Chain A
Amino acid sequence: MSSDPSCFKIRARGTQAGVRLALAHVVDRLASAGADRDFRGRAEIVLAEALNNVVEHALHGQACLWVEIRARKGDAGWHFLICDPGRPMPDGLLPQRRLPAVDAELAELPEGGFGWAMIRLLASAIEYSRRSGQNRLGFLIPHAASGPG
């Protein structure tokens, strides 16, 4: 663990409880590095969605596996990299999901499909690669919010 607050690494157990714990650590570290409340809120949403996807789809219930979160502060924002040893993304591509339509009848309202849409609204420079049996998801969260975020 580095003593430089603008660069850190946290490991999360591949469970929903592990994600919760890791998010609390990341938010603490961001606060120590001077990230404001608004930024920490946006970062927690993006990281939660990305990590939940890893636990649910890539690790698929294999609680013995770990996910690594790396964070580095840059000029435009914080760069994050999430690495996991789980199954690759289908076709090796990121989901291109847009927001599900919400102008629907009560019974037809969507109960899911928001995760990737929120990641795409709050993060930029989203990149996925598969290397040495690991999924690597990188993205940037800007210091200041743009648009509806």
Chain B
Amino acid sequence: MNLSSRSQDGTLVVTVNESRIDAAVALQFKDGIRAETEAACGRVVLDLAQVDFIDSSGLGAVVAAMKLLGKDRPLDLACLNENVDRVFRLTRMDTVFRIHTTLGEALAR
């Protein structure tokens, strides 16, 4: 699972450099997030711009990542493609995550 991260104004941006978060990589995704956010102490923004597809296992892994980070390190999402956004809306998970249209919007707040 190819993830990269950078810190900006106290927010850690984790970019998913993959086109899919599915059952085949859900565990690697969770482990990858754990590794990338080890040193994070504030908000984390997950940049999903390159992700074209997420299934229920991938969604579960994103929820697991949010729980792993805990209340003090809220996990926001940014740049959801049409079909990824659909999965969050269908499952009502769009009411659980703060979702930003662009990375600029995510960092502006």
Contact = CB atoms under 8 A, between A and B. Distances in A.
Interface stretch (A44-52, A58-66, A69-77, A88-96): A44-52
Interface string B55-68: 11101110110110
B66 A112 contact: no
A114 B22 contact: no
Interface in B34-77: 53, 55-57, 59-61, 63-64, 66-67, 70-71
A45 B66 contact: no
B59 A114 contact: yes
Contacts of B83: 41, 44-45
Interface residues of B, number: 28
The dominant DSSP class at the A interface is helix
The dominant DSSP class at the B interface is helix
Interface in A91-149: 99, 102-103, 106-107, 109-115, 117-118, 121-122, 148-149
B1 interface: no
Interface string B66-109: 11001100000000001100110111110110000000000000
